[in-house]
Amino acid sequence: MTDDAPLPPLADILDTARVVALPLVTRFRGIDVREAVLIEGPQGWTEFSPFVEYADDEAATWLAAALDFGWNAQPAPRRDAIRVNATVPAVAAASVPEVLARFDGCRTAKVKVAEPGQRLDDDVARVRAVRAVMGEEGRIRLDANGAWNVDEAEHAIHAMAEFDLEYVEQPCASVEELSELRRRVKYMGIPIAADESIRKAEDPLAVAEAGAADIIVIKAQPLGGVRRALRIVEAAGLPAVVSSALDTSVGLGMGAALAAALPTLDYDCGLGTASLFARDVTGTDAAASALAPRGGVIEVSRVAPVAALLDELAASADRRAWWLERIRRTHALLAARTAPQG
């Protein structure tokens, strides 16, 4: 929630909560199905979807974002459409054209690298295939999710520099490693972006204060909502890329609201990920999703799910019970955070 907004009653949240399970086109982030809770608040539909392995304390921040978006008016938008990038999972190089074909008109591709069980040669082949499809004018950024150490990251960046990289996202896990890597590769002119070092850090500004990144990647849910994310961007003083946490189209609407409210937006955003779903809650397939990329952009809009799809894509009874209990626990944590002290 925002600093001054009251916490909605638990009963009001659970009353409209719908738990959905969306199948992915290809395995991504180690999962084949994305589960999420969609909740209808006074301002419209919102989403709560921290990954299942996240502890309650971290997940509570995601609930704060969901409740803020569903119960409070959001900052005024500065733009009505957002340019987005394609996202290429750690697929075989031969599968790259099929993946990119799902992202209509996107001029930028974010390529997942450093996948457990794969080698650098696999990454190089995948990025080469992306460059072949995108052509010389396409923009390519890498995302290692903090999987390399400094030496591995430096070697990998050298190996893929020939593909004219826009930036490398979270090549190493720690702020100290990012700072050292940035120093080593600065002469190459390839910027370093921070994601996990922002959204999973106790101090999201530490990466900027340490001079460890050129760009910050921000996500509305993990950072506690649109307003809190905007404050982090302002304090960091670095260019920002708004990205998705593999949200449904409802959650992507929250990300779009964040991107629309930024004073400047110099990079294509990672908000085209509806195209990674085989099914979404707003269309007959992912291509028909309300926030699927069209001409490389998504519209800034608050999305409402289709009632029939909420039924069709409903999670099993045991998974629904698991998610509702998670809401009860994280709501209690938020209540404790906002309780008067003394």
Give the residue numbers annotated as catalytic, written as ranges: 112, 219
How far, rounded to the nearest angstrom, does the alpha carbon of residue 275 sit from its chain's CA centroid?
Answer: 13
Task: Determine the Cα angle at 326 with ends 320 and 331, to 5°.
Answer: 130
CA distance 293 to 273: 8
User: Residue 214: CB partners within 8 Å, gap ≥ 6?
Assistant: 167, 182, 191, 192, 193, 238, 239
d(CA 39, CA 191) in angstroms, rounded, equals 38
Quote the distance between the C-alpha of residue 329 and its chain's center. Answer: 24
In this structure, the dihedral spanned by the alpha carbons of residues 293, 314, 36 and 330, taken in order and rounded to 10 degrees, is 160
Amino acid letter at 175?
V
Q: Does residue 135 come out as left (phi exceeding 0), alpha (psi in the -120 to 50 range) or beta?
A: left
CA R_g for the chain: 19
Residue 143 annotated as binding?
yes
CB 198 within 8 A of CB 223: yes
Structure tokens at 308: 């029939």
Count, residues in the chain:
342
Sign of the C-alpha dihedral, residues 209, 207, 240, 137? positive
CA 184 to the chain's CA centroid: 28
Residue 294 DSSP symbol: B
Q: Binding site residues, as ranges?
A: 143, 169, 195
Q: Binding site residues for Mg(2+), as ranges?
A: 143, 169, 195
